[in-house]
Amino acid sequence: MTSKIIGTTILGVRIGDRAAIGGDGQVTLGQTIIKQNASKIRTLGDGKVLAGFAGSIADALTLFERFEGKLEKYSGNLRRAAVELAKDWRSDRILRRLEAMLAVIDSDSSFLISGTGDVVEPEDQIIALGSGGPYALAAARAFVKAGYDDPKTIVRDSLEITGTICLYTNTNITIETL
């Protein structure tokens, strides 16, 4: 999935039933860094779902609220909540204007959700988005291939590498784990 969202990096890794998601802390406005220690990661669904966002903060917070409502409505079923949010996001006139993307992960599944109706479950259970997403994804895949098996370590190390490459990503990292 290609994203026009710039200005952040979110990376989620699931190995077995263990998962971690992390994001950098940089917030930019145009070419200017306006904050270095933002948290773009949330724990949802009574601590059973991790989520991260790229894009407009206000839009992402709206989506987190909607997504948490879907999780409640569908008894914590991540797949169903993701699909229902994407359907609403694509068809609702107001939601359609939101400029953000979500990465969500639990102990069983990982998804990228966009306003174009995309709900993508990666084959390797590594999810990345934002301007630094491709760098973080490549680093995480390399760590997994090299035999690393701790999602938190993979996320941290991959985001640190990304922070040295991507102009819109820093190394003030927030990580949540399951």
The DSSP secondary-structure symbol of 95 reads G
Report residue 35 as tokens: 């904050």
Q: In what order do the strands lie in the sheet with 18-23?
A: 126-130, 9-15, 18-23, 174-177
| DSSP SS3 for 168 | coil
Q: Note the residue count of the chain.
A: 178
8 is annotated as an active-site residue: yes
The number of beta carbons lying within 10 Å of the beta carbon of residue 91 is: 10
120, 147, 110: which is closest to 20 by C-alpha? Answer: 110
Report residue 53 as tokens: 């966002």
Q: Are 52 and 21 in contact (CB under 8 A)?
A: yes
**Given 2, 8, 32, 162, the catalytic residue:** 8
Report how far residue 63's alpha carbon sits from residue 91's, in angstroms, rounded to the nearest whole number.
14
Catalytic residue IDs:
8
